[in-house]
């Protein structure tokens, strides 16, 4: 029987615990050469991290897997003298990554021309050190572009309807929160990648008619995205 994406990291971590226990037992028994093998323990972090990072799209934990793999690789390289300094010395790279993600998110955002049509068909909101609340009751909703940096962004789509069968919402949050409220008849596909953050989909498919599909994609860095009815 094929193992699910959620089971694989547990199997790897459990196997690593078994191997570590055996190696520690052999070291306590005075078997020579065991200490050299124990120096490679960060490989476990790399293995578990990569397993999580290559989960199918939409499965939570991919971003954390990347961080875990990087941490294990750094410890391993430092242990063998390949790199020097502390991990904290690399903190400016976080700004580079967050800034690059923000630029990429802005550049890839859908450019929808809705001049002369319903202004609620496409929403664009950016919150920085504050809060933004928007609502749409459009009967031809196409999507939205939502950004929250050290702030909050809330969008109410309970009275809207999707035009064309599918709408796409691009989200980016960095130390912020984004909340999206949708009608119970919408089918929601979550493609948000959390990195030391979280995504909560509280929608239920019981009342979805399958004719209106909302795709939520983007990134949550040390922040959260919530989708609910």
HSE-up of residue 173 (Cα within 13 Å, Cβ side): 32
**Locate tokens 């055996």: which residue?**
22
Residue ranges per domain, the chain? 7-90, 122-228
Whole-structure pTM value = 0.62
Residue by residue, pLDDT tens for the chain (229 residues) are 444 445 665 676 677 778 778 888 887 887 877 777 777 778 878 887 777 777 665 555 666 777 778 888 888 888 877 777 776 777 677 677 667 766 766 665 554 444 446 778 889 888 888 888 999 999 889 899 898 888 899 999 999 999 888 999 999 888 899 999 999 989 999 888 888 888 888 888 766 677 889 999 988 888 899 999 8
- Residue 124's Cα: distance from chain center in Å? 21
> What whole-number distance in Å separates Cα of residue 199 and Cα of residue 168?
16
DSSP letter for each residue of 112-158: ---TTS-GGGEEEEEEESSEEEEE---TTB-EEEEEEESSEEEEE-T
């Amino acid at each position: 029987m094929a193992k699910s994406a959620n089971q694989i990291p547990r199997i790897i971590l459990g196997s690593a615990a078994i191997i570590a226990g055996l190696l520690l037992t052999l070291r306590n028994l005075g078997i020579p050469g065991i200490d050299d093998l124990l120096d490679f323990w960060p490989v476990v972090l790399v293995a578990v991290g990569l397993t999580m990072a290559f989960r199918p799209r939409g499965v939570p934990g991919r971003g954390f897997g990347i961080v875990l793999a990087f941490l294990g690789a750094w410890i391993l390289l430092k242990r063998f003298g390949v790199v020097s300094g502390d991990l904290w010395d690399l903190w400016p790279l976080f700004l580079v990554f967050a800034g690059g993600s923000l630029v990429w998110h802005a550049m890839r955002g859908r450019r929808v021309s809705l001049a002369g049509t319903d202004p609620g068909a496409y929403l664009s909101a950016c919150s920085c050190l504050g809060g933004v609340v928007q609502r749409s009751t459009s009967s031809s909703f196409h999507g939205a572009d939502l950004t929250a940096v050290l702030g909050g962004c809330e969008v109410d789509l309970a009275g809207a309807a999707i035009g064309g069968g599918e709408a796409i919402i691009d989200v980016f949050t960095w130390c912020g929160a984004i909340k999206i409220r949708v009608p119970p008849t919408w089918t929601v596909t979550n493609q948000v990648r959390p990195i030391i953050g979280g995504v909560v989909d509280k929608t239920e498919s019981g009342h979805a008619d399958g004719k209106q599909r909302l795709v939520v994609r983007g990134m949550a860095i040390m922040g959260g995205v919530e989708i609910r009815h």
